[in-house]
A = this chain, B = another copy of it.
Amino acid sequence: MDRPELGFLLSRLMREVMAREKPILDAAGLEMWDYAVLTALADSDAPTQAQLAAATGRDKTRLIGNLDRLEAEGMVVRQPDPADRRNRIVSLTPAGSRVLRRCREAIEAMEAELLADLDPADRAAFQRALTALVENDR
C-alpha cells in the first residue's frame, strides 16, 4: 500500500500508549482524564474550573465528574475565589501531588522504553517535530 497516513499512524500509536498507561493509572486509582486534569493543575497556577476545562480541552460539564472524584479522594480542593465568588479555584493537595509524581515517573519510564528501539537521532527529531506540530496548532 501507499505510505500509511498520519492519522492512521497516530491512532495506532495513541492506542498503544494508552494501553501501556492504563495499568499505571489503574494502580493509582486514576482514570485517563483524571491524570490529564492533575497534570494540567500542576502546570497552571490556581485556575478556575473554566480555565482548567480550557487547558485540558475538556468540556466544563464533563470536568465536574473528574473533580468530584479527585476531591473525594483528597487529591484536589475547590475553593471559592474571594475576588469573584462565582469562580471556584482548583488546586492540588500534597496527596494529589504525590500521586501525580508517582504516575508521571512511571509513565516517563514507560515512554522511554517505548522509544528505546529508535535510532537516537530519529528519536530526538521525532520529539522535536511532535512538539513543534502541537505548538503550531495552538
Contacts and interface: CB of A to CB of B under 8 A. Distances in A.
Interface of A: 1-18, 21, 36, 39, 42-43, 57, 104, 107-108, 111, 114-115, 117-118, 121-123, 125-134, 136-137
A118 to B, nearest CB: 5
B114 A6 contact: yes
The complex is assembled from copies of this chain, and their number is: 2
Contacts of A125: 121-122, 125-126, 129
A7 B1 contact: no
Contacts of A39: 5, 8
Contact of A10 (B8, B115, B130): B130
A105 B16 CA distance: 27
Contacts of A136: 117
